[in-house]
Structure 1
Amino acid sequence: MTPETGVKAIAGTQADVQMADLLDDKARDEALQFEAAGLYLDLRRQKLDLDGWRALLKQAEGLKIDAQIARLFAGEIVNGTEQRPALHPACRNAALLGDAPAGAALSEARQKTRAFAEQVGRPDCLDGHPVRRIVNIGIGGSDLGPRFVYDALKAFRRVGIDTRFVSNLDPADLDDALEGADAETTLILVISKSFTTQETLMNARAARAWIVERLGEEGVAPRFAAATACPDKAREFGLEEARIFPFPDGVGGRYSLWSAAGLALEVGLGAEVFDRLLAGARAMDEHVATAPLARNMPVAKALIDVFNRAGRGLPSRCVAAYSSRLERLASYLQQLEMESLGKSVNAEGGPLAESHCGPLVWGGRGSDLQHSVFQWLHQGLDEAPVDFIAIADHGRTDERVRALNANLAAQGAALTHGRVGEGELAAHTAIAGGRASATFVMETLSPEALGALLALHEHKVFVEALFYGLNPFDQWGVELGKSLARSILSGDMAGFDGPARDLTHRLGLD
């Protein structure tokens, strides 16, 4: 029996469980609440009794999760299809790799980005001018991670420096990022692992033209920097060696914000804030590596998510963040989880045991979702578990904050208990309840808490992949569309079907 098959069998034993009846079980209460690295996680609102939870832990024991985490942290090959390690934990703690050359390279890269972050703070950084606008050009992990973290920690940004992000090929995206900017005080960051990504290079060329138009060719070099795993290609693009910041192939795009690919964070927020972000992630790394299985927060969340997806067959999960600063959390998790767990084959190339992979992830700001999709969550025919993300902010007395958090608490209770319909509209007003949710609480939205939250989800995905038996570190599906787009742009339509040919004509691409 595979771990995933075992989870499905456990779910079968829970079919008649009534969630509301489980909430007075003190032993279950203790088992399904977790605290680590400044985060609190409540998993009590799940369709799972204590015996079921213990059975899930038993399945997890067979995966030897501690040994697999140790392999990840030691920089061993965990990405089998590409024969690479996954070095994102080492980006925030190079000591994990011991005396290995990769660890020394990461330390050297951090020293280089740190020196540049300090330089950005000087009034003569840009050929005698200060930095007032940073424009980060990237896509995928080179955009989503840094963009989300910057938005989340905007209250900590460097005074007088505005950081904006560009990923879309629509010219309006770059136009908006440069709106109101002075070329003399603008720093362009080009973030691309391969330095061949079409969207990134096209936008970088457009940004270069914008600088040249205003300052001439001599204005380009002081105002461009890059982070890449292919420094040679960055040099071919015309960037100065001192402004090229390397990171290794073993850092996947969706995990890369901890590396030089997070340059916009280190320079836009400042070195101290970035260090605090790293410290929070390291605290979660320490927890996942040392906490007993039954008290391990990332493992617990992974077990619940696998239980709901593979066990109960629920195809999606909603992430409802009750914070405007965390508006992009769902988008960030979409890439992290769906690019990692959206696979149809196992790590050996065979079919997945139960034809399950990770769920579709969606969501947004909780207070906004309440006035739109929560109708579907409460009364729709399909159940989607909800992750509530709360910020306690105990020190604040603003009535809006109190109302915001009251709404979060109320929605979790409503999903659990529902409502009995009354009167002539009883059938319409009745809400069944019994729908699963999990709640994360951060005391404040600090760099440390955010770093811990992101590292938790990285480790959660790693554990889920062990259950499904797949490789979470490759993304071959992403590459196919890119390859076909290049063929269309080159005029090579061999092998394309009629609708594709018609569309290229309609769009003026032929």
Structure 2
Amino acid sequence: MSNADLLAHADRLKATNLRQLVDGDASRRDALVMSAAGLWLDASKQRLDSQSVSALLAAAKARGLSAAKADLLSGGIVNPTEGRPALHMAYRDGADIAGSEEAALVTRTQAETRAFAEAVRSGAYAPGGKPISRVVNIGIGGSDLGPRLVADALAMHQASGPDMRFVASLDPTDLELAVKGADPEATLFIVASKSFSTQETLMTALAARAWLTGHVGADRAGDFFAAASAAPDKAKAFGLDPERVFDFPDWVGGRYSVWSAVGLSLEIGLGPEVFAEFRAGARAMDQHFADAPPAENLPVMKGLIDVWNRMYLGYPSRCVAGYSARLAKLSDYFQQLEMESLGKSADLNGKPITHPSGALVWGGAGTEIQHSFFQWLHQGTDIVPVDFIGIRRHFSSDNDRERALAANMAAQGAALLEGREIDPADTAALPGHRDMPGGRPSSTLLLDDLTPANFGALISLFEHKVFVESLFYEVNPYDQWGVELGKVLTTGILSGEISGYDASTRALLGETGFQAE
């Protein structure tokens, strides 16, 4: 199935009334509603019919989905620019790599992090003579967004354990707020950095060490640190005991790393049992992705829907609306996962891409966002597909606020679809101003409940659907060269070597009185 064929289907459906499409053939809904691993996807409000779904499935087959999926799950080189596999699934036993060196490393690391988490939680590890009461995770990108998201989403499952805080910004107030009110003798910092040289993370870690030094002395400050890193020598030079440096291998990308030692703060704060349930839910989705036929496969179908909207219908962005206070950070997490993976302009051969690649991803928490940017979604001139992500239990809850939250989510999807047209003759009703065009697609994705397992399955679903999309965009979803140039230029600015920089940047630095190192 060629791109031209799919574009022809898209042109045909653009002229079709979406409400009529939704209310038409009942078998269409059967093809666009599916469930697995505690998740339920209803994509019946998407601008798709049986013909276009079949065409997308045929296109996925033609692009080698089956073989690519097998390579991913068995540890094949799916990151060709860096010559690496992408084995984040190994940390939840979702990869078929038994007997390999990678599998042995995962087993060892998991045993080490669990033992350390249990020692911290029990008070057996108490370098200040007091049980650890606050854990501060220092990281950036996936090393921050992943743990931060999961800590927030699963906060109601934290029955005991230290308070968890997260620091990512170089703004000194970020660290200051994280340690505000903390007892230095009962605080543990975890540095999540594969290289142990990421500028933002290392500078913040040095500031944290200086804070500790002022309270416990330089000779003891290192005792209040642990790390997830692939650079134990650098961590040791920083002052860490190698026994508290847990392996973060290069075949786990940062935005896919929450399952690994990067999740140490979660294993300590939520507890090893809750973290194990989170991993188990992801493993269930891994198995579904591996075994389910494409037409019934949640990651495959979600990936095809998002490709359809971006590449063939031409919608440049997608809104993620999380209908739970605990899902407020979900759009931030998916933003990095998708835009860092799919925001590429070169194909697998390094040649310029001539078709759209990954969409802009943005969003927030419902119902709050209904009173901010939903105005733009309903009446703006751009069409933006929406992912409504919520909790299925809320629909039948005895709690009136939970039911109202679910009703709001359902109503917003209906409003985007149906729109409203005011009688032009009824001038008192403000025709035009109160009209809404409708015909705007959305999907509803529900977790049976916000459990560790269901949430793990949700994150795994999106990881795999990104991989499916990459086959159509013809990009490597596991590298991120676009973040490198800014780092290099920052080094030049800090060193004062800016003679080759553009006139605007030089003027900015001069007029603001910037002081180089």
Partner of residue 331, structure 2: 330
Query: Contact 1:17–1:48 (CA<8 Å) still a contact in 2?
Result: no
> Is 1:509 equivalent to 2:515 in the alignment?
yes
Indicate the SS of the match to 1:493: coil
Structure 1 residue runs of 4 or more that deviate by more than 6 Å after TM superposition = none
Q: Deviations over 1:333-371 (max 9, x none)?
A: 0100000000001011112242x1111000000201100
Question: Of the candidates 461, 485, 504, which is equivalent to residue 466 of structure 2?
Answer: 461
Measured in 2, the distance between the counterparts of 1:405 and 1:205 equals 45
Measured in 1, the distance between the counterparts of 2:178 and 2:410 equals 37
Indicate the SS of the match to 1:504: helix
Question: Normalised by the size of structure 1, how large is the TM-score?
Answer: 0.97
Measured in 2, the distance between the counterparts of 1:447 and 1:77 equals 30
Measured in 2, the distance between the counterparts of 1:267 and 1:91 equals 17
Letter of the structure 1 residue corresponding to residue 487 of structure 2? K
Measured in 1, the distance between the counterparts of 2:319 and 2:226 equals 37
Measured in 2, the distance between the counterparts of 1:57 and 1:13 equals 18
Letter of the structure 2 residue corresponding to residue 208 of structure 1? R
Measured in 2, the distance between the counterparts of 1:319 and 1:67 equals 30
Partner of residue 193, structure 2: 192
Query: Contact 2:162–2:268 (CA<8 Å) still a contact in 1?
Result: no
Letter of the structure 2 residue corresponding to residue 372 of structure 1? S
Q: Deviations over 1:460-510 (max 9, x none)?
A: 000000011110111111111111101111111132011111222215234
Partner of residue 487, structure 1: 492
Query: Contact 1:340–1:461 (CA<8 Å) still a contact in 2?
Result: yes
Measured in 2, the distance between the counterparts of 1:157 and 1:482 equals 37
Question: Normalised by the size of structure 2, how large is the TM-score?
Answer: 0.96
Query: Contact 1:129–1:184 (CA<8 Å) still a contact in 2?
Result: yes
Partner of residue 436, structure 1: 441
Measured in 2, the distance between the counterparts of 1:80 and 1:266 equals 32
Identity among equivalent positions (%) equals: 53
Partner of residue 224, structure 1: 225
Letter of the structure 2 residue corresponding to residue 203 of structure 1? T
Which deviates the most, 291-300 or 229-238? 229-238
Partner of residue 142, structure 1: 143
Matches within 5 A, 1:228-247: 228-247=229-248
Query: Contact 1:89–1:285 (CA<8 Å) still a contact in 2?
Result: yes
Which deviates the most, 463-472 or 499-508? 499-508
> Is 1:207 equivalent to 2:213 in the alignment?
no
Q: 1:363 to 1:507 in 2, by over 3 A?
A: farther
Q: 1:226 to 1:53 in 2, by over 3 A?
A: same
Letter of the structure 2 residue corresponding to residue 191 of structure 1? A
Partner of residue 311, structure 1: 312
Measured in 2, the distance between the counterparts of 1:41 and 1:108 equals 36
Q: Structure 1 stretches of 5 or more lacking a match?
A: none
| Deviation for aligned residue 1:6 | 4.4
Measured in 2, the distance between the counterparts of 1:197 and 1:158 equals 34
Partner of residue 364, structure 2: 364
Measured in 1, the distance between the counterparts of 2:95 and 2:437 equals 52
Q: Deviations over 1:108-146 (max 9, x none)?
A: 111110110111112242223201000000000110111
Measured in 2, the distance between the counterparts of 1:248 and 1:9 equals 44
Measured in 1, the distance between the counterparts of 2:249 and 2:320 equals 31
Indicate the SS of the match to 2:432: helix
Partner of residue 7, structure 2: 8
Measured in 2, the distance between the counterparts of 1:254 and 1:46 equals 28
Q: Structure 2 stretches of 5 or more lacking a match?
A: none
| Deviation for aligned residue 1:426 | 1.3
Measured in 1, the distance between the counterparts of 2:515 and 2:365 equals 38
Question: Of the candidates 449, 452, 459, which is equivalent to residue 457 of structure 2?
Answer: 452
Query: Contact 2:300–2:468 (CA<8 Å) still a contact in 1?
Result: yes
Query: Contact 1:10–1:56 (CA<8 Å) still a contact in 2?
Result: no
Which deviates the most, 156-165 or 339-348? 156-165
Which deviates the most, 164-173 or 477-486? 477-486
Query: Contact 2:123–2:131 (CA<8 Å) still a contact in 1?
Result: yes
| Deviation for aligned residue 1:95 | 6.2
Query: Contact 1:95–1:103 (CA<8 Å) still a contact in 2?
Result: no
